[in-house]
Amino acid sequence: MYFCSSTENSGPVKQLTALYTSHFGTEPLRTEALPASGSNRRYVRFFGPEGTVIGAIGTDRDENRAFITLSRHFRAQGLPVPEVIACSDDELRYLQEDLGGIALFDVLKSGRESGDYTPEQRDLLLKTIRLLPRIQFEGAKGLDWSVCFPQREFDGRMIDFDLNYFKYDFLKLTRTEFNEIRLQDDFDRLKADLLRVPSETFLYRDFQARNVMIRGGEPWLIDYQGGRKGPFYYDLASFVFQARARYPEDLRNELIAAYREALAPYAAIPEAEFHSRLRLFVLFRTLQVLGAYGYRGLFERKAHFLESIPFALQGVRELLPLPEYPYLSEILKRLSETPSAEAETPAGLTVRVYSFSFRKGIPEDASGNGGGYVFDCRGTHNPGKYDQYKQLTGRDEPVIRFLEEDGEILPFLEHAKALVVPHVRRYLERGFTSLQVSFGCTGGQHRSVFCAERMAHFLHDQFPAARIVLIHRERGIQETYEPTL
């Protein structure tokens, strides 16, 4: 019998192998440790004469029981989830059907990076979103809610946990000033509104592309053990408005329309009511996500989560204003106009270079000094007028080539550099800590992005003692160039 070196000395894996041998009557030909997930479970792929299966080792019996019970219930309802093949008497180990190694998250990589999703990627997204009402409604039929982990339903306590997550792990860590009483008043109103929404369906809780496997061109669902009874809008908001997915507006609208079409056999909800409730849960999920990004990024200093904050703040901008929660709206407006991920900026000069859309307002100065420059790129030739460039940005080679060959924007940029360079030099000499340079155009997509990119890279080369932060506000992109001196 052959074991990978990463698993052969592990006692729990030996016990899992014993479960495999007991069930199949033969030892596996070999094993392969799979990458760890976000939980404390470990996964192993077993290779045997009849093919492969996945073995799981969990330390929480209740969590394992939830997955095993839910999987068997969903399979009985004809839903595409892995079959649980065998489990140990203590329910700490189990074997499940192997759905392969292709996650929807991996398939969407190029779209997530560019914001431009291919027809094939869109098709998989639509298949996935049409599957969601099935597990929410059919999965709820006859389900024993008491098995749900860590609690059986979406309730006020869960809402409080998530809102406090935002308050203490994002607002506090970004040193955002706020009146706790006024904020709590809005939180109470938001909680009451959320609890008024019907909650008789299965709430997946973690419905995202990482938890969808693609098998034979069709989506299969995994990692639903945290599900519970709750409102179906929560999962739709989680999936369609996921911060880093960068779904363009037309794709979001298409996904929501596809979901409503798939929802129709289960529930008839007037369109205005549907969208009002969905917006409510998009707000709630955005606050919860900012809390998670704050804790993992600002406290634990994990780069992936720090980089995700601008994407989440882009989502905040799209929600505003929120007249029903006026103080929360005021706080979110302040957050959306500042690079909050930079709350712990080290000493020295930081130059923030923005691209933005004038339609959505000029970026607020994060330092509070009110200084810096705003350059209007709208007087230059706009590549966005031409169909071949409409889905691209000023970071893409065809747009860069268009602007360089056209030549109109280059002298504009040189004049901007002539103003900014002496300003940066003087700020470094005087020990100042913050300067902001912003480029705006009509949509914040082509000309302003091109200019901000050029300016940021130029300043990084010219002033190695300065920290340069490049922020494409409407694209949800933030990049930092640390000092090299």
Reading the chain (485 residues) residue by residue, the pLDDT tens digits are 222 333 343 467 889 999 999 999 999 999 998 876 555 678 999 999 989 999 999 888 999 999 999 999 999 999 999 999 999 998 899 999 999 999 999 999 999 888 889 999 999 999 999 999 999 999 999 999 999 999 999 999 999 999 999 999 999 988 899 999 999 999 999 999 999 999 999 999 999 999 999 999 999 999 999 999 999 999 999 999 998 888 999 999 999 999 999 999 999 999 999 999 999 999 999 999 999 988 887 776 666 777 788 888 888 999 999 999 999 999 999 998 875 444 443 457 889 999 999 998 898 876 666 678 999 999 999 999 999 999 999 998 899 999 999 889 999 999 999 999 999 988 887 878 889 999 999 999 999 999 999 999 999 988 888 889 999 998 888 888 888 66
Pair 43, 163 in one domain: no
Q: Flag whether 1 is in a domain.
A: no
Pair 54, 139 in one domain: no
Q: Flag whether 122 is in a domain.
A: yes
For 120, 395, 445, the CA distances from 116, given in Å and listed in that order, are 12, 13, 13
**What would the two tokens of residue 258 be?**
């596809």
Cβ pair 383, 450 in contact under 8 A: no
Q: Which amino acid is at 352?
A: R
CATH number of the domain bearing residue 154: 3.90.1200.10
Pair 352, 321 in one domain: no
Pair 329, 414 in one domain: no
Q: Which pLDDT score, from 0 to 100, does residue 431 have?
A: 78
Q: Flag whether 415 is in a domain.
A: yes
Q: Which of 264, 143, 281 lies closest to 207, judged by CA? A: 281
Distance CA 454, CA 410 (A): 10
Rg (CA), the chain: 25
Q: Flag whether 6 is in a domain.
A: no
CA–chain centroid gap for 359, Å, is: 25
Of 336, 371, 389, the position where a domain reaches its end is 336
Q: Which pLDDT score, from 0 to 100, does residue 3 have?
A: 29
Q: Flag whether 2 is in a domain.
A: no
Q: Which pLDDT score, from 0 to 100, does residue 60 have?
A: 87
For residue 368, give the DSSP letter: S
172-201 as b/e: b if 16+ CB within 10 A: ebbeeeeeeeebeebbeebbebbeebebeb
Q: What are phi and psi of 396, to 5 degrees?
A: -90, 140
Pair 164, 300 in one domain: yes
For residue 338, give the DSSP letter: S
Cβ pair 68, 84 in contact under 8 A: yes
Pair 81, 138 in one domain: no
Distance CA 367, CA 364 (A): 9
Q: How many CA atoms lie within 13 A of 226 on its CB side?
A: 10
Pair 325, 390 in one domain: no
Kind plus residue range of the DSSP H or E element containing 460: helix 447-462
Distance CA 56, CA 45 (A): 9
CATH number of the domain bearing residue 61: 3.30.200.20
Pair 305, 404 in one domain: no
Of 97, 125, 155, the position where a domain reaches its end is 97
Q: How many CA atoms lie within 13 A of 34 on its CB side?
A: 19
| pTM greater than 0.85 (yes/no) | no
Sequence-ordered list of residues with C-beta below 8 angstroms from that of 165, at least 6 positions apart, any chain: 287, 288, 291, 292, 295
Pair 235, 117 in one domain: yes
Judged by phi (left if over 0) then psi (alpha if -120 to 50, else beta), residue 367 lies in alpha
Distance CA 366, CA 347 (A): 15
The total domain count for the chain is 3
Q: Which pLDDT score, from 0 to 100, does residue 295 have?
A: 83
Q: Flag whether 4 is in a domain.
A: no
Q: Which pLDDT score, from 0 to 100, does residue 340 have?
A: 45
Distance CA 190, CA 329 (A): 12
Q: Flag whether 281 is in a domain.
A: yes
Per the structure, the complete domain to which residue 394 belongs is given by 345-481
Distance CA 112, CA 116 (A): 7
Q: Flag whether 458 is in a domain.
A: yes
Pair 45, 112 in one domain: no
Sequence-ordered list of residues with C-beta below 8 angstroms from that of 120, at least 6 positions apart, any chain: none
What angle (nearest 5°) sits at the alpha carbon of residue 127, between those of residues 77 and 224?
50
Cβ pair 464, 402 in contact under 8 A: no
For 102, 342, 457, the CA distances from 480, given in Å and listed in that order, are 32, 10, 11
Q: Which of 49, 55, 43 lies closest to 25, judged by CA? A: 49
Pair 86, 114 in one domain: no
Cβ pair 351, 437 in contact under 8 A: yes
3-state helix, strand, coil in the chain (%, to 5): 50, 15, 35
Of 97, 131, 156, the position where a domain reaches its end is 97
Pair 204, 251 in one domain: yes
H helices present in 53-141, as ranges:
61-76, 104-107, 109-114, 119-133
Q: Which of 39, 153, 32, 165 lies closest to 101, judged by CA? A: 32
Judged by phi (left if over 0) then psi (alpha if -120 to 50, else beta), residue 440 lies in beta
